[in-house]
Amino acid sequence: MELACTGNESSRNLLSVSSPRPNHPSISKYPKSVSVEEGIEAKALFCVIGMTCAVCAGSVEKAIKRLPGIREAVVDVLNNRAQVLFYPVLVKKETIQDSIEDVGFKATLIEEEMIERSVHIFRIHIKGIACTSCTRTMEFALQGIHGVQNLQVILETEEAEIQYDPKIVSHNLLIEAIEDTGFDVILISTGRDRSKIQLKLDGILTDLSKRMVKNSLQALPGVEAIDFDPTFKKVSISYCPDETGPRNFIQVIESTGSGRFKAVINPEGEGEDSHRQKEVREYLKSFIWSLVFTIPVFLLSMVFMYIPGIKHALNTKVVNMMNIGELLRWILSTPVQFIIGRRFYIGSYKALRHGSANMDVLIASGTNAAYFYSVYSVLRAATSQDFMSMDFFETSSMLVSFILLGKYLEVLAKGKTSEAIAQLLDLAPKTAVLLTFDSEGNVTSEQEIDSRLIQKTDVLKVMPGSRISSDGFVLWGQSHVNESMITGEARPVAKRKGDDVIGGTLNENGVLHVQATRVGSESSLSQIVQLVESAQMAKAPIQKFADRISKFFVPTVIILSFFTWLSWFLAGKLNWYPKYWIPSSHDNFHLALQFGISVVVIACPCALGLATPTAVMVATGVGASQGVLIKGGQALESAQKINCIVFDKTGTLTIGKPVVVATRLLQNIDVRDFFELVAAVEVNSEHPLAKAIVEYAKKFREEENQVWPEAHGFISITGHGVKAKVQNKELIVGNKSLMLDCSITIPVEAEKILKETELMTQSGILVSIDGHMVGVITISDPLKPSAQETISILKSMNVESIMVTGDNWGTANSIAKEVGIETVIAEAKPSQKAEKVKELQSKGLVVCMVGDGINDSPALVAADVGMAIGAGTDIAIEAADIVLIKSNLEDVITAIDLSRKTFFRIRLNYVWALGYNLVSIPIAAGALFPSTGIRLPPWVAGAAMAASSVSVICSSLLLKNYKRPKKLDALEINEIKIE
């Protein structure tokens, strides 16, 4: 029997909306694994005996970092020390010590120090970030600032997430440091909680009135931070939703100063989405303006020179040998070079000032070489009687235009990669109907409000056909709610008084009154979005390959460009190639210069930098839409290598909603009294089998809400059962092993019942009262309809399946035989599950653990990839790398298949990005020119460079068309029929 009892620990469905109502345990926020944004941090120093080399140190470090709540771990193999920074609310020092000893070393705690350190996170939108060189520039600027702990940048959304200690450094100082590197920064969120509201103010004109409003707001409980933007008359307020809410802020502001001030919630469309739209508009505007000047330059250089009448006019001399055509091209190309293209100068200057080189450096180098040589040539013609100038003004202006076009298309394509998040956010309705009540509970008024103004405990009216505005529970009414957009459940779910509902789901046929329990960033929808956003922030290990290359890419290209120019120039001077190779009106210097400029502008580090993160971003978004939440690139990369899956039984292979099917009493005791005692003990446990017993025991009660007798000295023996004292009777409820450990004699009749239940793949729970066996409760937990087919499909994918369960051998073997699993480990404790995972890993297998219970958490952490069933507990979800929110077993296949297709796409992106640079740079340098006469003019090279980044993004966007294996569609149809 897999009875993982957890005392009073709370667990819930991932998407349930249980609230901390009276007499109910508090529900912890999900997902905790995204980040520990603020809390007391502890430092522990361990003496680790047995380490001999860096490999040993790596093993210890990896074992520690697998634990939840670890911020940092540093292992010193020379001094046999391991220093760990951790959050005691999530992990204990004893657990860390055990994890070190689990990998084969002796660990002793030397000292532990509590550090009063607040870890804050703020998120920013960065304008102008183009490649990994830009990321390194930011890292270089921030790494010298004391108090900065971590920086994660995502190129596709141009966002960064920075962890810092607010007691040491402020986020404003960090923003200034980033802006000093050449990037424009827009603050998205800051502080511990992402519950933040922005209000538009009217009436605040002076510093005094601003202080009045600020002091009034700070007096409210739960207000954490207040930021004023006097330019746009806005105030941003970060707050704790348990204590206050946005309607309180508006009321306080409007009551300050005798009603002189007014506040409304900031209109939609002024958030980070608008920043992207603004950037798209800016690039489009710059591109159009560049065309206004570039098209005339192109016509003057490439078209009008071949029209006799116009050619004669353009060749008319102005000063000495300088003609009208050259002067016009100079005048028209100058605004393109210095006004429209100033962004490249600013970016390259600030990058070089910080000792790095990015894409802007390449662009500025190429366009400057073409422009300033042209200026020199024209000025020399103006001061000479016989020098015929040869300018490249069309090259510099066309380069800028093509690059701006490429940037415009790139920003457009990047916006497509985050559409999954936008679609999730669109599920939330814009407005809600707020109800107010009198003292007798009668509705006195209805008011339509912005859904962002909903506060905890608000009662909302939900009409048929409208979406539920907030997570909560039904106070009044009956209806059916379509939750498929969140849970994947195809059929509407019946809801009545007391049932939980999820914000964003669709109310179908009845009126409901819903009390809000989780609002803002605490809602299920917001937490899924936060998880996807955090996953998209995390780099996949394969990204390090591109980072290493990009570090040397730009300097190498500039050196190659110089040597290309020098080689062709010297070859011309030394007559190593025939004169007819030089185009008319050119000389060998011009030819060499064109080759050098082409090399600079055709090279593209952006394509390399975008190859992995764009694919990861699209894949995590697609996964979320399929009900598979992937916590970052590391999990995605590991999933594609899985060749062995370890399945838990209860709630994973089985439905997880067991029911009592039979009760056999072995002594003379009333069945009503029997279940009264057993339920009084099991009500303290969160295990599915315990819940089944409690639910069954309710049938013998006269009153629905009658309180169970109090259980004293409750003890949970994980994987075995529970003990407690009820009405002065000592009760032990659990499996056979627990009874034997407690020296309880098991009668022959009970043994016979247990064997019968095992043959029928049922679980038999033994009940002992005061040391005597009094009954056996038989519980059936049917297999999930998709279990057998899922195991079969995994075999066809060359993935081995193993079942590890705490249930007895008989039941375990029967279940395994039914689903087609050959390897079974039964009666396993949580630590033994983790040991089995490590044993498989030692054989060279890439192991995935699929589970849903608290007792699965150690194995989920130990596995290369942990997958938690969405209906599982908070701790299991916390420990997992991938969450299957629909609780469908076949989503294991979806996760692996999506991962494999994603990394096929990433490899394809790298082949293209590397192949493009390896092939295009030699061609631009003139490698084919001697044999074929093919050469790339600089403006063609610029167009190719712009196209390369866009092509990589478009390649990643093809993942949006991902379809899960067709076998699963047929399997889902069968599952619906069975249900």
- Beta partners for residue 824, in sequence order: 803
pLDDT at 13: 36
% residues pLDDT > 70 (the chain): 81
Same domain, 341 and 455: no
Q: What average pLDDT does range 799-806 have in this prediction?
A: 89
Q: Is residue 541 part of a domain?
A: no
Domain of residue 158, CATH code: 3.30.70.100
* pLDDT tops 60 at residue 233: yes
Q: Domain end: 395, 428, 461, which one?
A: 428
* pLDDT tops 90 at residue 144: no
Could you tell me the sign of the dihedral formed by the alpha carbons of 964, 862, 876, 520, in that order?
Answer: negative
* pLDDT tops 60 at residue 648: yes
pLDDT at 563: 93
Of 391, 500, 648, 781, catalytic:
648
Same domain, 469 and 357: no
Give the model's confidence band at 849: pLDDT under 50 very low, under 70 low, under 90 confident, else very high: very high
Give residue for tokens 């890439």. 846
Give the model's confidence band at 259: pLDDT under 50 very low, under 70 low, under 90 confident, else very high: low
Same domain, 294 and 417: yes
Q: Is residue 677 part of a domain?
A: yes
Q: Is residue 870 part of a domain?
A: no
Give the model's confidence band at 443: pLDDT under 50 very low, under 70 low, under 90 confident, else very high: confident
pLDDT tens string 532-576: 666 555 666 776 776 677 677 878 888 898 999 999 999 988 888
Q: Is residue 807 part of a domain?
A: no
Domain of residue 436, CATH code: 2.70.150.10
Q: Domain end: 388, 412, 428, which one?
A: 428
Same domain, 282 and 420: yes
Same domain, 61 and 132: no
864 is catalytic: no
pLDDT tens string 283-302: 889 999 999 999 999 898 87
Burial letters for 72-94: b for 16+ Cβ neighbours within 10 Å, e otherwise? ebebebeebebebbbbeebbeee
Same domain, 510 and 400: no
Same domain, 168 and 286: no
pLDDT tens string 670-717: 888 899 999 999 988 877 788 889 988 888 877 666 788 888 888 888
Average pLDDT, the chain: 79
Residue, of 355 and 740, whose pLDDT is higher: 740
pLDDT at 70: 86
Same domain, 463 and 382: no
What is the Cα–Cα distance from 916 to 413, expressed in whole angstroms?
20
Give the structural domain span for 373: 273-428
Q: What average pLDDT does range 67-83 have in this prediction?
A: 74
Pair of tokens at residue 659: 């029911």
pLDDT tens string 450-461: 888 888 889 999
Helical (H) or strand (E) element with 415: helix 393-417
Q: What average pLDDT does range 386-413 have in this prediction?
A: 79
Same domain, 397 and 443: no
Q: What average pLDDT does range 43-69 have in this prediction?
A: 73
What is the Cα–Cα distance from 873 to 525, expressed in whole angstroms?
18
Same domain, 357 and 439: no
Residue, of 794 and 886, whose pLDDT is higher: 794
* Contact assessment for residue 606 and residue 131, using Cβ atoms and an 8 Å cutoff: yes
Same domain, 283 and 411: yes
Could you tell me the sign of the dihedral formed by the alpha carbons of 545, 546, 551, 552, in that order?
Answer: positive
Pair of tokens at residue 766: 């033994």
Q: Domain end: 110, 132, 160, which one?
A: 110
How many C-beta neighbours within 10 Å does residue 59 have? Answer: 16
* pLDDT tops 60 at residue 379: yes
Pair of tokens at residue 209: 């009135």
Same domain, 125 and 106: no
> What predicted TM-score, i.e. pTM, was given to this entire model?
0.62
* pLDDT tops 60 at residue 612: yes
Total domains present in the chain: 6
Q: Is residue 13 part of a domain?
A: no
pLDDT tens string 339-368: 998 888 887 877 777 666 767 777 888 788
Q: Is residue 565 part of a domain?
A: no
Residue, of 553 and 776, whose pLDDT is higher: 776
